[in-house]
């Protein structure tokens, strides 16, 4: 009984959102507002049970870790933003969040997104094994595998050249930047295609739910 | 005081986080753990601030009664029911909160994202009009990736899935890597500016 009720609620709400394809209408607006309210409450409850309870409430009031009064006070100062007269107090916790986030990501991004990516790009330009495969069994795939590493190296270098705006994109530099744009376009196209596939997959999931779980048609 | 203390807090918090990478011993390792825990707690309060603002805006709408004000009742009721369900009966499997999550939150969340498929389709119609060589590259790359990942691609040409994988693994990776390196350098310079107090816009733009 409860399961059937749940399926009916889920199906009707799914249809309410799907109705937006016709035009913006009261059913969609109803579902949209309900979604915002329910999501906000979901994350509030989730954060309470998974972050506040084990990291603040239990250690502070149960184990007497009084140092946690500091983040509690900073947190309350953050909420003061809702009251214009004392809104300036929220700058202190905000400064803490911005400072620690910046400090942490300064190193992690430098390590993982800059140094490691450069290291992964610094590989031998010619992979002898791939070229051997190309000459023994010529074909589209063996050719693509043979040029794979040069493509990556050229793509990364020209892509970075495109992002270098301190020099005007003219002459040889401009030509390299243009090649960089081609690689960026291929990357954007691939990401776009991938995103479309992911969204279509979600849509198929919802349609399957409606036709299988709700209507039992398939 | 309103400006100097936040700058000092930013500097100390940022420097502790940076130093613990280079000196992974006491007191920096302990401080890093402590700051991480504080960071988590304060971000929850930041979320509470956002929730407070959301509730404030919609409560005001109920008082002023503009067009479509009753949707605010839906939002506030949805919030109240889910919140009370979680706080009173807990969040374990089989609770009312769990029921609402699986039958209200999750279907709507999935459908909202699935709806984007239609908008992406209409956006792609506009984007895929190959007017320039760059737009043509984007078009070819997207089509090869999409067709190569469905059975139709294999039916057209059995090597198409391999070509699709090659595009994802090499030219796409090269482009993504260039973007990642650019972003990383940008983050490093911005973080340094923030820690050293040169960048202050997060303090209400003053």
Give chain A positions within 8 Å (CB) of B10: 95-96, 98-99, 102
Distance from CA of A146 to the nearest CA of B (A): 11
Give the pLDDT score at B128: 66
Give chain A positions within 8 Å (CB) of B45: 74-76, 78-79, 93
Give the pLDDT score at A199: 87
- Name the residue facing B114 among A151, A193, A199 (closest C-beta): A199
Give chain B positions within 8 Å (CB) of A196: 117, 120-121, 124, 142, 146
- How distant, in Å, are the alpha carbons of A126, A136, B171 from that of A133? 13, 5, 21
Give chain A positions within 8 Å (CB) of B174: 151-156, 159, 183, 187
* Residues A106-142 pLDDT 10s: 999 999 999 999 999 998 888 888 889 889 988 889 9
Residue % of chain A over a pLDDT of 70: 100
pLDDT of A57 above 50: yes
- Residue A125 per-residue DSSP state: S
Residue B3 C-alpha from the chain's centroid: 29
Phi/psi-derived region of residue A79, left when phi > 0, alpha when psi is between -120 and 50, beta in every other case: alpha
pLDDT < 70 stretches in chain B: 127-128, 130, 205-206
* Residues A179-198 pLDDT 10s: 999 999 999 999 988 888 88
Neighbour-count burial for A84-119, b at 16+ CB within 10 Å, e otherwise: eeeebbbbbbbbbbbbbbbbbbbbebbeebbeebee
Q: Is any Cβ of chain B less than 8 angstroms from the Cβ of A123?
A: no
- Name the residue facing A183 among B82, B111, B174 (closest C-beta): B174
Region A40-65 average pLDDT:
94
Give the pLDDT score at B206: 46
Report the alpha-carbon distance of residue B205 to residue A117 in Å, rounded.
34
Give the pLDDT score at B112: 92
* Residues A153-164 pLDDT 10s: 999 999 999 998
Report the alpha-carbon distance of residue A116 to residue B97 in Å, rounded.
43
Give the pLDDT score at B130: 65
From chain A residues 173-212, the ones with a CB under 8 A of any chain B CB are 180-197, 199-200, 202-203, 205-206, 209
Q: Is any Cβ of chain A less than 8 angstroms from the Cβ of B27?
A: no
Q: Is any Cβ of chain A less than 8 angstroms from the Cβ of B139?
A: yes
Region A80-86 average pLDDT:
89
Terminal-residue alpha carbon distance, chain B: 13
Q: Can you spell out the DSSP letters for chain B?
A: -TTHHHHHHHHHHHHHHHHHHH--STTHHHHHHHHHHHHHHHHHHHHHHHHHHHHHHHHHHHHH--TTTHHHHHHHHHHHHHHHHHHHH-SSTTSHHHHHIIIIIHHHHHHHHHHHHHHHHHHHHHHTS--SHHHHHHHHHHHHHHHHTSHHHHHH-TTHHHHHHHHHHTHHHHHHHHHHHHHHHHHHHHHHHHHTTS--TTTTT-
- By the 8 A CB rule, do A71 and B74 touch? no
Q: Is any Cβ of chain B less than 8 angstroms from the Cβ of A48?
A: yes
Residue to mutate among B171, B195, B199, with most A CBs inside 10 A, is B171
Give the pLDDT score at A114: 92
- Residue A166 per-residue DSSP state: S
Give the pLDDT score at B97: 96
Distance from CA of A165 to the nearest CA of B (A): 12
Q: Is any Cβ of chain A less than 8 angstroms from the Cβ of B31?
A: no
Domain boundaries, chain A: 125-218
Residue to mutate among A72, A186, A204, A208, with most B CBs inside 10 A, is A186
């Amino acid at each position: 009984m409860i399961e059937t009720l749940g399926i009916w609620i889920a199906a009707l709400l799914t249809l309410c959102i799907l109705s937006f394809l016709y035009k913006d209408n009261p059913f969609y607006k109803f579902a949209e507002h309900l979604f915002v309210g329910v999501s906000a409450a979901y994350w509030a409850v989730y954060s309470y049970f998974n972050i506040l309870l084990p990291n603040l409430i239990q250690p502070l009031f149960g184990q007497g870790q009084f140092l946690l009064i500091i983040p509690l006070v900073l947190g309350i100062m953050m909420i003061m933003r809702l009251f214009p007269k004392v809104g300036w107090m929220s700058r202190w916790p905000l400064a803490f969040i911005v400072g620690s986030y910046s400090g942490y990501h300064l190193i992690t991004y430098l390590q993982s997104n800059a140094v490691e990516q450069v290291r992964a790009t610094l590989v031998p330009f010619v992979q002898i094994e791939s070229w051997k495969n190309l000459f023994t069994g010529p074909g589209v795939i063996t050719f693509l595998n043979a040029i794979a590493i040069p493509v990556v190296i050229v793509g990364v270098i020209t892509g970075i050249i495109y992002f270098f705006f301190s020099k005007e994109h003219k002459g040889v530099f401009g030509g390299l930047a243009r090649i960089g744009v081609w690689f960026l376009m291929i990357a954007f196209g691939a990401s776009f295609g991938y995103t479309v596939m992911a969204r279509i997959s979600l849509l198929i999931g919802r349609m399957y739910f409606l036709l299988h779980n709700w209507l039992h048609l398939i | 005081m309103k400006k100097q203390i936040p700058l000092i807090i930013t500097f100390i918090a940022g420097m502790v986080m940076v130093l613990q990478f280079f000196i992974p011993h006491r007191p920096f390792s302990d401080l890093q753990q402590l700051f991480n825990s504080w960071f988590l707690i304060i971000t929850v309060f930041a979320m509470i601030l956002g929730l407070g603002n959301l509730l404030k805006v919609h409560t005001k709408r109920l008082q002023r009664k503009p067009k479509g004000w009753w949707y605010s009742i839906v939002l506030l009721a949805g919030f109240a029911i889910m919140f009370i369900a979680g706080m009173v009966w807990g969040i374990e499997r089989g609770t009312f909160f769990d029921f609402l999550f699986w039958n209200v939150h999750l279907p709507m969340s999935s459908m909202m994202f699935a709806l984007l498929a239609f908008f992406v389709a209409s956006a792609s119609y506009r984007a895929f009009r190959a007017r320039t060589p760059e737009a043509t590259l984007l078009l070819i790359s997207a089509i090869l990736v999409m067709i190569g990942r469905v059975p139709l691609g294999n039916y057209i040409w059995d090597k198409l899935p391999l070509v699709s994988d090659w595009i994802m693994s090499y030219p796409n990776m090269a482009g993504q890597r260039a973007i990642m390196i650019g972003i990383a350098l940008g983050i490093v310079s911005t973080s340094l500016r923030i820690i050293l107090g040169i960048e202050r816009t997060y303090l209400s733009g003053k």
